[in-house]
A and B are shown apart, each in its own frame.
Chain A
Amino acid sequence: DVKVTQSSRYLVKRTGEKVFLECVQDMDHENMFWYRQDPGLGLRLIYFSYDVKMKEKGDIPEGYSVSREKKERFSLILESASTNQTSMYLCASRSGGGETDTQYFGPGTRLTVL
């Protein structure tokens, strides 16, 4: 079974803090994604990566950055957290073998910024 893990299930941070969210997958997938999920808005893509050291902006990259130094690990960074970044953050991975392969999600991190 594909396993995608995220470093924290719940996180509380203060405005202005630097926040790291880490995601690890164990299936040697090429593609990894970071989404945020807010009520009534669905999943919105923040950043994705097709390979190590490669990153692409999604639909809402402002206020975020990412790092992919190793194939299995994809980190999301909030340089200076703000209250409007309070959300559920979901990481996903997908094999690059077929464009229609399904995405496998981690359990999510519910971030609250005070």
Chain B
Amino acid sequence: GQNIDQPTEMTATEGAIVQINCTYQTSGFNGLFWYQQHAGEAPTFLSYNVLDGLEEKGRFSSFLSRSKGYSYLLLKELQMKDSASYLCALLDSNYQLIWGAGTKLIIKP
């Protein structure tokens, strides 16, 4: 079967760095997505990784290790507007997305 785990909630301070982890088990893998979802709004795309390594995009970076079934999203120079839920989603062998429950990130001044 398939399973995705990520922490339910994290707290960080404005200006700091935070790493949100995602671990998964799957028999087929075609990539891993990260989405951001502000309260009451739709998820929006942040990143996609299919090969091992780090993908950097401004203040946000995403890392993947396929052998370990592990990904993380790194947010630098945190701003209050980064308070949101961050969703990890696995693209399975049928090219369907399997979603994690999301990590609620709380930013404190």
Contacts and interface: CB of A to CB of B under 8 A. Distances in A.
Q: Is the interface of B mostly helix, strand, loop or mixed?
A: loop
A77 B43 CA distance: 22
Interface of B: 4, 8, 30-31, 33, 40-45, 48, 50, 87, 89, 91, 95-97, 99-102
A42 B42 contact: no
Interface of A: 4, 35, 40-45, 48, 90, 99-100, 102-108
Contacts of A41: 101
A43 B100 CA distance: 7
B43 A40 contact: no
B43 A102 contact: no
A43 B45 CA distance: 14
Contacts of B100: 42
- For A4, A102, A106, the residue with the greatest tally of chain B CB atoms inside 10 Å of its CB is A102
Contacts of B96: 45, 48
Contacts of A45: 96-97
A102 B42 contact: no
Contact of B30 (A40, A100, A103, A105): A100
A1 B51 CA distance: 27
A108 B87 contact: no
Given A43-B87, A108-B41, A100 B101 contact: no
A37 to B, nearest CB: 9
Given A100-B30, A100-B31, A102-B33, A42 B99 contact: yes
A108 B42 contact: yes
Nearest to A41: B101
A105 B31 contact: no
Contacts of B102: 42
Contacts of A48: 96
